[in-house]
Structure 1
Amino acid sequence: MKILNSWSKKRSIANRYNITSNSYDEQYTQEQTAKYIAAQKTLNQLQYATILDVGCGSGLFFSHVTDKAQMVIGVDFSHKLLLKAKVQAKQFYNVHIVQADADHLPFKKTLFDVVFAFTMLQNMPAPKKTLLEFKQQTSTNGKLVITGLKKAFKLTAFLDLFETNGLTLFEFIDDPNLNCYIIIA
């Protein structure tokens, strides 16, 4: 029954994003760009990196990293948002799009130098499990850059997700101008 509830929640979220896909960029570009800029200020390892953007939505993040990265893979569960991301990806030689469940990513373990997940963790039925999947996708010296929506996570609960998964926090950003916490682990 737990698996059915989990799947049901994920389908519901995907349907919500499918419905709002036409207005997604208009609604979220400014907010998401502020997060991208804040997160990247602390990262110096993007040059020639293999990057995974989980919950890539319409591909807004691609233009912020493609000039530095060797390869960027955008993953989302929403088919209609991925159609928009595919249009964005055509502008770049090193971006690939995959429809997948963030809890069951179809990639070789430890493949990515940096795993980004902006404003998606609160949509997952078991965020702790999702973080574990991200950790498994990250190379030995790689980084996770994860945001947590402040209205969805109490600060202590958000930090606890990382600690209970054995992740070391390198940077924590709690900018009052952002609606998310940003953690680099």
Structure 2
Amino acid sequence: MREWNKKRKALRHYDQLAPVYDIQYAEEQNAKIKAALNNTKPGENDLVLDLGCGTGFLFEQTAKTKLLVGIDISSKILQEAKKRAKKLPNAAVIRADADYTPFQNQTFDYVFAVTILQNMPNPLKTLREIKRVSKPQSAVILTGLKKKFSQERFTNLLNKSGLNVSTIKTNPQLKGHVAICQK
């Protein structure tokens, strides 16, 4: 019950924030995405999952992929993401819980989870779901807010999940740690 209460609280928060989310977070989110994409970028044959997609900041930057799927639990934030997805022939959005995605095992070549783990009641459970839907040797790009995760705690969490951490970027301009991992 406690798990769902935390998710419900996040859902309500992002439903209320939806109309102004881009104004409030565009710069911060785009900086994290840019830092991640400097190290790895999906190709035209890749299947990409944007877990906790928010309003879809990642969509345009990964538009040249085979398929891009964004999921989020907030219906109002997904309304904003749909506006971006409609501009792309290969993008779709789905309302779903990040801990229980509707995908088969080993579906995606790339999984992005930007600024979501701090909202999850059990981040390790979320990471295990990410690992489940990732293909072998897939790239998993995650961020962890510095105010929630020290770099050591973030790294330990990723290692505990069984993901292989290739790089963690932390710099003063970013409000979060950016990790590039492999399954």
Tell me which interval the TM-score lies in, with the shorter structure as reference length: over 0.9
TM-score by length of 1: 0.95
Shift of 1:47: 3.3
Q: Which residue identity does 2:52 align to in structure 1?
A: G
Question: Which ranges of structure 2 fall in alignment gaps of 5 or more residues?
Answer: none
Matches within 5 A, 1:27-176: 27-67=24-64, 69-176=65-172
Secondary structure of the equivalent of 1:170? strand
What is the Cα deviation at residue 124 of structure 1?
A: 0.2
How far did residue 46 of structure 1 move?
3.1
Aligned mates of 2:90, 2:159 — CA distance in 1: 33
Judging changes above 3 Å, is the alpha-carbon distance between structure 1 residues 166 and 86 closer, same or farther for their aligned structure 2 residues? same
1:22 maps to 2:12: no
Residues 42 and 48 of structure 2 are in contact (CA less than 8 Å); yes or no, is this contact kept in structure 1? no
Question: More deviation in 76-85 or 58-67?
Answer: 58-67
In the alignment, residue 177 of structure 2 is paired with which amino acid?
Y
SS of aligned partner of 1:61: helix
3, 9, 13: which one pairs with 1:12?
Answer: 9
Q: Secondary structure at the match of 2:148?
A: coil
- Kindly state the Cα deviation for residue 61 of structure 1 after the two structures are TM-superposed: 1.2
| Mapped partners of 2:19, 2:162: distance in 1 | 39
Mapped to 1, the partners of 2:121 and 2:145 lie a distance apart of 15
- Give the % identical residues: 38
Q: Using the alignment, how far apart are the partners of 1:33 and 1:172 within structure 2?
A: 17
- TM-score normalized by structure 2? 0.96
The one-letter code matched in structure 1 to 2:30 is T
Give distance in 2, aligned partners of 1:183 and 1:160: 12
Detail structure 1 runs of 4+ shifted over 4 Å in the superposition.
none
- 8 Å CA contact 2:42, 2:62 repeated in 1: no
- For 2:131, the aligned partner's letter is K
Paired positions, count: 181
Residues in 1 aligned to 2:21 and 2:148: alpha-carbon distance in whole angstroms:
20
- Give the secondary-structure state (helix, strand or coil) at the position aligned to 1:140: strand
